[in-house]
Chains A and B, each alone.
Chain A
């Protein structure tokens, strides 16, 4: 053996020994990065310039209140969709048209904690119409329209304290589900917290979701005061059922870390929503007063509207028997996931040492046999053994969530041991495990929540990224990781940073969304009360202390581009219509000193910026989104005079600009003689005269 060869051999042995020792001593997560990912990993996530990703992935943004849209497998960030948070980038929640979207009965709330996503389904398959997301803090559910990638509708959930188990969807998008994470007095009342067991209740809400603009809490089921965590609707044979996990069946109200973790088993609530529907139709529900808000984006005016609803229908388990059953489940279950066949309900007992799997068939039999061990508040508790399909033994530490590949395998995320565990449905044997970096929460397979998963990739959504990326101060980025699951063993292909903390996510074949994309809003169909359809319709008007500016934006100017006669303390409303009718030509608008954000106005859309000037002067305004070679020239001034000034209100709109041909080019159909005003185009285009 030659010297170099021997050295190599020793080094290799040392590496193996070191790896084993390291592997035993620490979490497998500490394997050096070089040993993971195989030679062809890069090519499997490489999407060549100019070509498109195969999937859209929608990852919830957690505490940023937004949704991140990524391409898979490249991991490229395509868009951030603001839902429950103001978004300075496009003025969402700042413009007068979008402010109402963030309105609640508590007032305008510019933030929330967005945990989960659910794509609309038809026959148990993703159909690419809408994305639903939840607000955890101030309970709300929102609909995002996937033709525009904009938030279209937000519904507040009454009688709820923390909308965590939400917005999981039924297989024909009949309902999105919403459970209360924190039980609270219902209706709210001033009671001692020590009266928790007596006074606190949970609710499970069924939100009608199948018609845009018409979301509503169809009914609520009043349930014992536990913490409700996550949910999944059934599919196939179980499609009339929904499954919610709960913890704190101890009904502890202080030091939950210890006191809510004592019982060996908590419950999955199995609920037949068809039975509930029948009870509501049969007049079993009580109508309770409840104030909650429904916000919708009007498509004709592109302006959001609010409606305050005054009551909600409430059912109790005793008034609607056979609608809900408790399935004992070890221990403090987090996820409840239903496999593509609809037969297995997999629980992620976050403190359990096994992954329990319930059988839907056995559940039906147990209900028939009345195999109940007890009844809580009218809810039968079914015997654990009667419904158990099997247990995955020694899966790892901290099982949370399970997704399915459609090939008979399940993939469970392990929060504490930071790994994904692959196991076989039916035999419950573990066939593979892969480390994640680090503290994986949810995991996601494209279509994994449907009857037809596309078992190509699993995406790990991780909480901690120590050592994965360049450090950025105390707070590091959140992260997602893509694993190839097309073979027997999972292979790490890529990790990429995400915005906010991703909780759940969905991915869908790009072909189901791409063809429906809206390119622009048709100007002729713009019904905004302050719309201008060409530059001739622009103008300035005053009504008391309010000044309305109807302004047009088109490459590369505003019309009017100079305003005079505005006075200190006026409320100036800039109503700006983007006259473009071309894809990807938004215009921006900002004015110096406005205590607001910019506007980003999509082609054919009208948006309004409110500005109250506080001091006299001449204020520049300009286009913020690069629009053309003369983008820098797309600007103007507002002259602000003292209160009571005699400066007349005026804006130099079309007439002053004198470009008839130009006006014609903006969609005005009038034929104009070639000579016309073009001869002296600058007539009246005067600079502000010094006085």
Chain B
């Protein structure tokens, strides 16, 4: 068993992780001279949506110039499993906090960190795919050697657009959950019950 304080902190980490599905995880925003108001999308655990109601449609409309595939959330399998996965992890985390077993906590944290890494790599892979797998034969605008992969975190110029990618509320909650559980898993000491 670990201390009461550690268990509470661990439970908070699990709850923060669960709460992440209530908010967008990531925000990709696009600005260009012609779009002073900006365009952008939120990536949720279960879907991709425009920041403004028609942003996704407008982004797809613009992306057709460079031959990029349309972003169709229904066609992304990860979005079907991510939300149940996160919720299951959160529930498991709460159970682990309840048991107060440090070993479980370390296992859970390990799985979470691993999942986060897999998730980010997967996200990067999708970005890579959208940015590189271009229908060049039908792309009205072809710039030799140009690809359009947005950054995972940070800003990048893609033709006339500046794409900025940052964690959103849900992402920050998930990052918080990782850091908190890591803290508990590495610093908690066993105490006798």
Q: Which A residues fall within an 8 A CB radius of B?
A: 520, 554-556, 580-583, 628-630, 633, 659, 661-662, 664-667, 669-672, 674, 678, 681
Contact = CB atoms under 8 A, between A and B. Distances in A.
Contacts, number: 58
Contacts of A659: 138
| Closest 8 A/B residue pairs (Cβ) | A671-B75, A581-B54, A665-B60, A665-B70, A664-B70, A671-B74, A582-B58, A681-B138
Interface string B57-69: 1101101110001
Contacts of A666: 57, 60-61
A606 to B, nearest CB: 17
B65 A664 contact: no
B110 to A, nearest CB: 34
B113 to A, nearest CB: 31
Given A581-B54, A665-B64, A674 B69 contact: yes
Contacts of B63: 665
Interface in B124-139: 133, 135, 137-138
Nearest to A633: B140
Interface residues of B, number: 21
Residue with the highest number of chain B CB atoms closer than 10 Å, among A582, A628, A630, A666: A582
B72 A555 contact: no
Nearest to A630: B140
Contacts of B141: 629
28 contacts: A520-B54, A554-B61, A555-B61, A556-B140, A580-B58, A581-B53, A581-B58, A583-B37, A629-B141, A630-B65, A633-B140, A659-B138, A661-B64, A661-B70, A661-B135, A662-B64, A662-B70, A664-B70, A664-B72, A665-B70, A666-B57, A666-B60, A669-B74, A670-B74, A671-B72, A671-B74, A674-B69, A681-B137
Contacts of A581: 53-54, 57-58
Contacts of A667: 57
Interface string B68-82: 011010110000000
Contacts of A633: 140
A664 B64 CA distance: 10
A547 B78 CA distance: 47
A630 B139 CA distance: 12
A581 B61 CA distance: 10
Contact of B133 (A582, A583, A672, A674): A674
A672 B75 contact: yes
A661 B58 contact: no
Contact of A678 (B57, B58, B138): B138
A457 B141 CA distance: 50
A633 B61 CA distance: 16
Nearest to A662: B64
Nearest to A658: B138
A689 B63 CA distance: 32
B57 to A, nearest CB: 5
A632 to B, nearest CB: 11
A589 to B, nearest CB: 19
Interface in B42-61: 53-54, 57-58, 60-61
Nearest to B129: A674
A580 B74 contact: no
A629 B65 contact: yes
A661 B66 CA distance: 13
